Amino acid sequence: MGSSVRKGRAVLPAEQAARPSREQPHRAAAEDYHHEAQNANNGQAITACCKNKDKDLQFKIQAYIDKNTVMIFSNTACSLSAKVKELFKSMSVPYCSLELDQTEDGQKLQDVLYELTMETSVPIVFVQQKQIGDYDKTLKAHKEGKIQKLLETKGHDHMQDSYDYDLIVIGGGSGGLAASKEAAKYGKKVMVLDYVTPTPQGTRWGLGGTCVNVGCIPKKLMHQAALLGQALQDSRKFGWQFEEKVKHSWETMTEAVQNYIGSLNWGYRVSLREKKVTYENAFGEFVGPHTIKATNNKGKEKFYTAEKFLIATGERPRYLGVPGDKEYCITSDDLFSLPYCPGKTLVVGASYVALECAGFLAGLGLDVTVMVRSILLRGFDQEMANKIGEHMEEHGVKFVKEFVPIKVEQIEEGTPGKLKVIAQSTDGREIIEGEYNTVLVAVGRDACTRTIGLDRVGVKINERSGKIPVSDEEQTNVPYIYAIGDVLEGKLELTPVAIQAGRLLAQRLYAGATLKCDYVNVPTTVFTPLEYGACGFSEETALEKFGEENIEVYHSYFWPLEWTVPSRDNNKCYAKIICNIQDNERVIGFHVLGPNAGEVTQGFSAAIKCGLTKAQLDNTIGIHPVCAEIFTTLSVTKRSGGNILQSGC
């Protein structure tokens, strides 16, 4: 029998594979990674159990096992033998395969092998001289990470060289980019795969992920455009005089926003190149252990291997699942580059995305209606959420509550055209209709995990949500695969969280660090017209967790000085802290409604991470006259029922 050698593994004749080695260790070349395995000295026990068998055959079998890191006793006609070889091939793990049906004394070897292993059929697999078993047992051991652990703990040092990359990151969003650049900083060979599947309306974008292209960045810029409109109205009270009617140009705004985003896209590509990170605009999909297929927009496929992988694919907007939704509706993926003004708009949903978009569209002077199935801002403090809704209603946003669309029809084509929305009450008793130029769907987001081949490598996901459960070190159930960002189960869906998790993960993997991402007391802001900043527990969660008797809530309205001259929105801004009485009134929840809420919250969140107490807040001298000053003078508790209305700044 001749020697059949393929890239990454060798199939050797019995005499060569079992021959005792007196020569120099075999050098692993580009097409031949076969090497001599270290003897684990556990073969003596196997031999001893079969003293009455042919000793020559026993020693020959043991020689195969001792000599090779991965030894497969196989049969050329066995489909399961072929599958187990493909498994190791996909892992870029070299193996030695002995084809028993083509080997002299093959049948006798097989009989002795069955006696030694108690297995009843081929393939029979050994890894680092440890018996794994048949195909099913090998596949199970691989999915549980046992094979990889054996290879890593037993000094399988050629593995590093056999991979194309040390780390492949799937997803070029904020978290994935941060992790890739951090890993490259420590001399690792890193690749980033990023691909944007076009929306049903055909929208796509460049490198940088949701935040940069269709999330935080354009949202905040358009929020600012709306605030400038309010500032123009206020300016007349401050003495500014202008005769012409002020108009807003949607096209000018979107062009400027997209130009800025384009500069960021280019900057990310330059940064990856400077850090020597390989970037491919291609869809990444696992095809086997340690192996991924990258498909570009022309359908060209490439295959890469890596020692470790990081899933950072993020989420995409969820559609309604009703007739006409994908044909005629848009999502936040489309809104920020929409080439025409959306006109009269129905926003479907009550998420922060829904309310933020509704807020700035109304601020730009558009007729906006929000259709809500149940509550506003699920997961956030409900008192704050309701105050946001009240403020938006007072500023012209209409709310249709406890209704959901059941059909969307096109009445007229155009940019924008005209759509008819048929909606049903949540109790099923009432049907209503309405006409709009644009329907924006913002009912939630789905993790991009179901089409990247996770099932092929055994990564577990939550079947309902698609989210990935991970350890406190962002490791999935498959040891060489990690995940960060919005795809994680039970973690905050925030860009800075993904960035922090990605950087710290790379430092742990490649720099010997031990610090883990802290998902507790993470500050965030909802950029509705009246901005909402929060850190820590909502009031509802705090009461549930600690009990009403152990919670003290301090609160007050406040009136920003800048709003007093225009005489608008008095007693709309609101501050609230939630304190744990049993822990020296430590601040466990921070909430603020008002201008620049994000700037205010960011500063206080650092103090909360350090264990801020109510006494320390009271002992802090405020800056006058600013909105954040209110937190140094809070004195009225909810329990007391005292008056919190303000008549001046």
Task: Tell me the CA end-to-end span of the chain in Å, nearest whole number.
Answer: 93
C-alpha triplet 334, 181, 158: angle, nearest 5°: 120
How would you classify the pairing of strands 124-127 and 4-6?
A: unpaired
Q: Do 476 and 308 form a contact (C-beta atoms < 8 A)?
A: no
Q: Give dist(CA 371, CA 432) in Å, integer.
A: 12
C-alpha distances out from residue 582 to 316, 475, 549, 616, Å: 42, 35, 10, 16
Question: DSSP labels for 235-275?
Answer: HGGGT----SPP---HHHHHHHHHHHHHHHHHHHHHHHHHT
Query: Whose structure tokens read 């430590």?
Result: 586
Out of 158, 395, 555, 624, the active site residue is 624
Encoded tokens for 516: 């883990």
In 426-489 the beta strands, taken as DSSP E runs, fall at: 431-436, 438-441, 445-447, 481-483
Q: What single letter denotes the amino acid at residue 267?
A: G
| Residues in contact with 584: Cβ distance below 8 Å, sequence separation at least 6, in sequence order | 613, 615
Q: Give dist(CA 56, CA 348) in Å, integer.
A: 76
Under DSSP, the state recorded for 120 is -
Q: Give dist(CA 550, CA 510) in Å, integer.
A: 44
Q: Do 154 and 128 form a contact (C-beta atoms < 8 A)?
A: yes
Q: Give dist(CA 193, CA 284) in Å, integer.
A: 6
Residues 591/594/596/597 CA torsion (nearest 10 deg):
10
Q: Give dist(CA 450, CA 322) in Å, integer.
A: 21
Under DSSP, the state recorded for 81 is H
How would you classify the pairing of strands 573-580 and 586-593?
A: antiparallel
Q: Do 629 and 649 form a contact (C-beta atoms < 8 A)?
A: no
Q: Give dist(CA 209, CA 587) in Å, integer.
A: 34
Q: Give dist(CA 412, CA 416) in Å, integer.
A: 9
Q: Give dist(CA 109, CA 100) in Å, integer.
A: 7
Respond yes or no: is residue 26 known to be catalytic.
no
Q: Give dist(CA 261, CA 631) in Å, integer.
A: 36
**Residue 120 half-sphere exposure toward CB, CA atoms < 13 A:** 1
Q: Do 129 and 37 form a contact (C-beta atoms < 8 A)?
A: yes
Q: Give dist(CA 193, CA 313) in Å, integer.
A: 10
Under DSSP, the state recorded for 490 is T
Does the N-terminal peptide bond of residue 529 adopt cis geometry, omega within 30 degrees of 0? Answer: no
Q: Give dist(CA 33, CA 29) in Å, integer.
A: 6
Query: Whose structure tokens read 């205010």?
Result: 600
Q: Do 582 and 546 form a contact (C-beta atoms < 8 A)?
A: yes
Q: Give dist(CA 183, CA 171) in Å, integer.
A: 15
Q: Give dist(CA 206, CA 263) in Å, integer.
A: 10
Q: List residues with catalytic annotation.
A: 624
